[in-house]
Chain A
Amino acid sequence: MATKTEFKNPVVRWVDDRLPVFTYLDHEYNQFPMPRNLNYWWNFGALASVVLILMILTGIMLAMQYTPHVDYAFESVERIMRDVNYGWLLRYLHMNGASMFFIVVYIHMFRGLYYGSYHAPRELLWMLGVVIVLLMMATAFMGYVLPWGQMSFWGATVITNLFSAIPWVGDVIVTWLWGGFSVDNPTLNRFYALHYLLPFVIFAVVALHVIAVHITGSNNPKGIDVQVPRDTVTFHPYFTAKDSVGLVAFLLFFSAVVFFAPNVFGEPDNYIKANPLQTPPHIVPEWYFLPFYAILRAVPDNFIGGWVTGWMGVTFVSAKLAGVIAMFGSIAVLFLLPWLDRSKVRSARYRPVHNAFFWVFLVDCFVLGWVGANPAEGMFIWIGRVATAWYFVHFLIIIPLVSMIETPRPVPASISEPVLKEKA
Chain B
Amino acid sequence: MADEIQTSDTSDEESSRRDFLYLATLAGGAGLGLAFMWPIIDSMNPAADVLALSSVEVDLSPIEEGQSITVRWRGKPVFIRRRTAEEIEQARAVSLADLPDPQADADRVQRPEWLIMVGVCTHLGCIPLGQKTGDPKGEFGGWFCPCHGSHYDTSGRIRKGPAPANLAVPQHTFLDDNIVRIG
- A301 and B162 within 8 A (CB): yes
In the complex, what residue of chain B is closest to A302 when comparing beta carbons? B100
Q: How many residues of B contact A (CB 8 A)?
A: 27
Task: Pick from A120-128, A179-187, A392-400 the stretch touching chain B.
Answer: A179-187
Q: A181-B46, A318-B164 are in contact. Are A154 and B126 (CB under 8 A)?
A: yes
In the complex, what residue of chain A is closest to B145 when comparing beta carbons? A279
- A181 and B70 within 8 A (CB): no
Verify if A176 is at the interface (C-beta below 8 Å from B): yes
- A279 and B126 within 8 A (CB): yes
Q: A175-B45, A179-B45, A186-B50 are in contact. Are A157 and B126 (CB under 8 A)?
A: yes
Point out the residues of chain B lying under 8 angstroms from A157, CB to CB: 124-126
- A179 and B50 within 8 A (CB): yes
1/0 per residue A315-327: CB within 8 Å of B?
Answer: 1001110010000
Nearest CB on A from B35, distance (A): 18
Point out the residues of chain B lying under 8 angstroms from A39, CB to CB: none
Verify if A376 is at the interface (C-beta below 8 Å from B): yes
Verify if A377 is at the interface (C-beta below 8 Å from B): yes
Main secondary structure of the interface of B (DSSP, over half): loop
In the complex, what residue of chain B is closest to A182 when comparing beta carbons? B75
Nearest CB on A from B37, distance (A): 13
- B46 and A179 within 8 A (CB): yes
Point out the residues of chain B lying under 8 angstroms from A376, CB to CB: 148-149
Verify if A344 is at the interface (C-beta below 8 Å from B): no
Measured in the bound complex, the distance between the Cα atoms of B162 and A175 in whole Å is 22
- A158 and B125 within 8 A (CB): yes
Verify if A388 is at the interface (C-beta below 8 Å from B): no
Point out the residues of chain A lying under 8 angstroms from B163, CB to CB: 320
Measured in the bound complex, the distance between the Cα atoms of B54 and A179 in whole Å is 14
Q: A154-B126, A157-B126, A319-B164 are in contact. Are A182 and B45 (CB under 8 A)?
A: no
Point out the residues of chain A lying under 8 angstroms from B126, CB to CB: 154, 157-158, 279, 283
1/0 per residue A236-264: CB within 8 Å of B?
Answer: 00000000000000000000000000000
- A180 and B164 within 8 A (CB): no
In the complex, what residue of chain A is closest to B146 when comparing beta carbons? A281
- B72 and A320 within 8 A (CB): no
- B162 and A319 within 8 A (CB): yes
Seed contacts A160-B125, A277-B72; 16 additional CB < 8 Å A-B pairs = A157-B124, A179-B45, A180-B75, A181-B50, A181-B75, A182-B74, A182-B75, A186-B46, A186-B47, A276-B72, A276-B76, A278-B127, A301-B162, A319-B162, A319-B164, A320-B163
**Chain A interfacial positions (CB closer than 8 Å to B):** 154, 157-158, 160-162, 175-184, 186, 190, 276-279, 281-283, 297, 301, 315, 318-320, 323, 376-377
